[in-house]
Amino acid sequence: MGYKKKKFKDKKNIFIKVDQYITLRVLNIEDVGQDYINWINDYEVIKYTELRFTKSTRNDIKKFVLDNWVSDHNILFGIFFKNCHVGNIKLGPINWEHLRSEVSYIIGKKNIWGKGIGSKAVNSLVEFAFSVLGLQKINAGYYENNIGSQKVLERAGFQKEGVRFSNVIFDGQRVNSVEVGRINK
C-alpha cells in the first residue's frame, strides 16, 4: 500500500481548514441531527439531485453516513460554517487504479447560499485529494439548469468535458446534464 493510500486509511481523522469560518470534517453518525434531516428532505435543496426521489428518514441517513465511514472508496465530509453543520461534500467513489474520483456536494442551509462556501469547499477538497491522497483527476456533473452548481465548479477550476443530452427529467422536462473535470497539473 502506497503512502497516499495509507493517508486515506486514517480518513476518520481528516480535517480540512478551508478558511477562518469553513471547515470540512469526516461525518459520523453523531452528526445526524434534526437540521440535517430537514435539509436533506427539503425539495428546494435537493431538486437538482437524485435525492428528490426518496424521503430520507433518520435511519436512512445514519446508514448512509455509516456506509461512507467504513468505505474504502468514499469520504463523506460535513461542511461546517462557524462550527455549524451546513452541508455535505463527498469525495468518491475513488478509483485507486486510475487515481480518479467523483465529487458531489450540497449546502443544506439555503440562507447561506451565495457566500462562496460551495466554491471554496470544492476547491479545498480537490486540493486535498491531489496533494494528500495523490489523486490526479476529479470529475463532477450537474444538471444544465443548475446554475449555482455550474458556477461552483467553474470557480473551483473544473473544465467542461461533455454534455449528455436529454439525460434527466426535471419538473416534467428532459434536461441535459454536463460532465466536468479537473486534472492535477
Ligand X SMILES: CC(C)(COP(=O)(O)OP(=O)(O)OC[C@H]1O[C@@H](n2cnc3c(N)ncnc32)[C@H](O)[C@@H]1OP(=O)(O)O)[C@@H](O)C(=O)NCCC(=O)NCCS
Does residue 119 belong to the site contacting ligand X (CB under 6 A)?
yes
Site residues (CB under 6 A) for ligand X, limited to 46-65: 48-49
- Give 36 or 142: the residue with its C-beta nearer to ligand X: 142
Return the C-alpha cell found at 96.
Answer: 485507486
Identify the residue among 135, 146, 181, 182 touching ligand X (CB under 6 A): 146
Q: Output the CA angle 181-72-74, nearest 5 degrees.
A: 40
Does residue 39 belong to the site contacting ligand X (CB under 6 A)?
no
| Least distance to ligand X, CB of residue 175, Å | 12
Name residues whose C-beta falls within 8 Å of residue 94's C-beta, 6 or more positions apart in sequence.
8, 73, 74, 75, 100, 101, 133, 135
Beta bridge partners of 77: 26, 89
Does residue 115 belong to the site contacting ligand X (CB under 6 A)?
yes
Name residues whose C-beta falls within 8 Å of residue 17's C-beta, 6 or more positions apart in sequence.
23
Does residue 152 belong to the site contacting ligand X (CB under 6 A)?
yes
- Give 124 or 149: the residue with its C-beta nearer to ligand X: 149
Which of these ranges, 63-71, 94-102, 103-111, 127-135, lies near ligand X under the rule CB under 6 A?
Answer: 103-111
Grid look-up 478558511 returns 19
User: DSSP per residue over 104-120, as a string?
Assistant: EEEE--GGGTTSSHHHH
Does residue 40 belong to the site contacting ligand X (CB under 6 A)?
no
Does residue 133 belong to the site contacting ligand X (CB under 6 A)?
no
Binding footprint of ligand X on the chain (CB under 6 A)? 45, 48-49, 105-107, 113-119, 142, 146-149, 151-152
